[in-house]
Structure formats: C-alpha cells, structure tokens
Chains A and B, each alone.
Chain A
Amino acid sequence: MAADGCGAPDQAASPAGVDLTTQVVLAGKVLAGDQPVGGAFVRLLNGDGDFAGEVVASADGDFRFYAAPGDWTVRALHRTGNGQASVHADGPGLHEVAVGVS
C-alpha cells in the first residue's frame, strides 16, 4: 500500500544510492562449482536461525540483503540443489558471501 511495496529490488543492478557507511549490505553469488546459478531462492536467516528475508538471485546468481551487524546464514534453494553459507557483519559496509548449491 505504500508507494514502495515489499518485493525485492532488481538483484543484478548495483545498489546505487545505498550508503555503505551506514547500511550493512550482505551480497554475493549462488554457485554450482565455480559456475553462477541464476534464479535460486536465497533466504537470509539470523543468528537464531530465524528467517529474515528472501530474494530471487539474478540470472548471474547475484543476491543482496540489507541487514544489521551480527551473524547471518544465507541459504539458497534451487531445483538442482540447495546449500548455505555463514557471514559475519561487524558493521556497515559491503560483506560478500558465496553460496554453493549441489
């Protein structure tokens, strides 16, 4: 109902206008081996394992979350397989994480 809904922005576009001095950005690629996998459902879980957000990875496997400092798990679901990876964010900035699916 607000001007902007709750859907995720384009995951392939660079986060123009995002202030990396204040925003905690968790971003990376979904991979099978060393090849990017597009279209996976990427879920962000907090330190307690609770769901915090979900996006669909771009055709090149890119995903991005805006979070808060702490420990996070990124879990990817794809018709070819699932996988997950952990990432720690100690503060604002870009925190990169790759997630393998098999």
Chain B
Amino acid sequence: MSRDNVLVSAQWAEDNLDAPGVVFVEVDEDTGAYDGGHIPGAVKIDWKTELQDPVRRDFVDQAGFQKLLSEKGIGNGDQVVLYGGNNNWFAAYAYWYFALYGHENVRLLDGGRKKWELDGRPLSADDVKREPTNYVAQAPNTAIRAFRDEVVAAIGAKNLIDVRSPDEFSGKLLAPAHLPQESAQRPGHVPTALNVPWAKAANEDGTFRSDDELRELYAEAGLDESRATIAYCRIGERSSHTWFALHELLGLSDVKNYDGSWTEYGSLVGVPVALGSES
C-alpha cells in the first residue's frame, strides 16, 4: 500500500478540482460548514442522516449505500476524494465505508477542511448538482469490521488500540473534551488495550504524520506487527482515522475498526474493564 494510492495533498486537490472522473465529497456530522463554503464542486454527505441507520444502531447497509451514492452522482469508476472537519474523522469513517463496500478508487484529502482553510484555498457556497448514477456496492467486507465478541476474545490475544485521549482511556473523562460529560456507560478501557490517541497520528494542521513517524509511534506503544489489530474509540470515527493510518498508510494486513467502540463495550454486562493509565 502506498501513501499515494490513498491520500491526496491539498495542492493536488486544488490542481484537480475540474479533473474528469474525480469527485470531491465533504463528509461531516454537522454539514453547516459545507453550506457556508465547500471545496468547489464537492458534494456533501451528512454522516448522521445519510450514513447511519435511522432506527437500529448500525450504519447504512449495502442497498442503502448503493442508493446514496447513486443519488449523489458518484459512479463505480470515479475517483472519490473524501474530506471533512474534525481532522477528517468523519471523512475517514466514510473512507472505511467505501472500503467496506468495495469502492476501488477512494482517497482522503490530507489535512481535510482544516488544512484547506489554513492554506486559504478557495471555498464556494454554490449548489452542486451531479447527474444520478446506478452505483453498485459490493457485499460488506467484514475483514475490516470488528464486532463486540471479537473484541472480548482479543483481550491479551490481539493488538487492541484505544485511540481516545489519555483521560478517556484512564476513565477520568467519558467523552472528548469538547462534549458534555454525562454518559450511561462505565468509564475505562478494554484490558490489554494500548492507548495511542488518534491525534498522535496527525500533525497540528490535520495532515497525517510520515510513515516513519507512524511506524515509530505504534512500535513505541508496543504494537506487535505479527498479531492482528482492532482499533476502537468512543463511537468508531476517531478509530477509523487510526485504522486508515495502520491499514492504508502502513499497510498492516489484518486491522479492523470496532465501530461499536466504547459506547457499546462500556455498556456490556459482565465484560472486563480496566481503569487507570496502564494497559
């Protein structure tokens, strides 16, 4: 896996705004930013209303993904470039969906909206309309998605990477520091999980650290490359960012994202939970 096959730079993006077959997609939980100004020509996907199941706790299924992409005017052969706010969390989450449903040509914009804005690159508030397509999604590739029983079985047997902040890992906070702290689940982490906060994989401007820096980061944390790896966070989007770093940038072969994450695990009856900063 080469970085060039999965990431594009802001400069490449600006140079290819009008390139045929390239579709820019802004993905966010709050699409207010898109409405105020987006990369020219980009379509938007609302993470909350378009990528989640409206009733069950699950995400959009194969038929739903197919319908969504057809409506957005995205074809199977298009090169999709995803970007968004929050250091690309939701764009990385969407990237994981695109990978799960077998889209062949998908990239993340390195640094997302933040780098684009800090660079002072152009934004447009114009409506974007693309012709609908007949998108065909593949069956979900569960080789990159972990479920709760797998996480319990992975304790002490696989690499578990908890990508939340140190204070969430230790149990001091239940949510990131920009959110109110009330929550139903128990604080703490999955025993034996290594705490490598997602932010350590990113530079201040939101771009990913170099491959060498990433390799050193996970090696120092104690990641055993001979074992399979499961990444989790609170709801699965920050861990998509780390899944991207491990699976797409470093090319580790068996890496799964546990999208149930702490809001599921921390609410399970009877499973082991560890407190404090130690694994």
Q: Which residues of A contact B (CB under 8 A)?
A: 1-2, 4-9, 15, 18, 23, 39, 41, 43-44, 46, 48, 50-56, 64-68, 75, 77-79
Q: How far is the CA of A65 from the CA of B177 in the complex (A)?
A: 5
The answer to whether A1 and B57 have CB atoms under 8 Å apart is: yes
- Give every chain B residue within 8 A of A52 (Cβ-Cβ): 165, 167, 176-177
Contact B59 A1, beta carbon cutoff 8 Å: yes
Q: Is the CB of B177 within 8 A of A18?
A: no
Contact A18–B235 (Cβ < 8 Å): no
> Which one, A6, A8, A53, contacts B237 given CB within 8 A?
A6
Top 4 nearest A-B pairs (CB, nearest first) are: A53-B177, A7-B29, A51-B199, A5-B29
In the complex the two chains form, is B86's CB within 8 Å of A7's CB?
yes
Chief secondary structure at chain B's binding surface? loop
Identify which of A5, A9, A46 contacts B167 (C-beta below 8 A): A46
Report the number of A-B residue pairs with Cβ-Cβ less than 8 Å: 105
Are A79 and B89 in contact, CB atoms less than 8 angstroms apart? Answer: no
Binds A, one of B74-82, B115-123, B218-226: B115-123
- In the complex, residue of chain A having the shortest beta-carbon distance to the beta carbon of B261: A1
Residue of A2, A4, A39, A54 with highest tally of chain B CB at under 10 A? A2
Is the C-beta of B104 less than 8 angstroms from some C-beta in chain A?
Answer: no
The answer on a CB contact under 8 Å between B120 and A65 is no
Query: CA A50 – CA B170 in complex, angstroms?
Result: 14
Task: List chain B residues, Cβ under 8 A from A48.
Answer: 166
Partner of B165, one of A51, A77, A78, A79: A51
Complex partner residue of A79 from B85, B118, B166, CB under 8 angstroms:
B118
Docked complex Cα distance between A77 and B204 (Å): 9
0/1 interface trace, chain B 23-63, chain A, CB 8 Å (1 if under): 00000111001000000000000011000100001110000
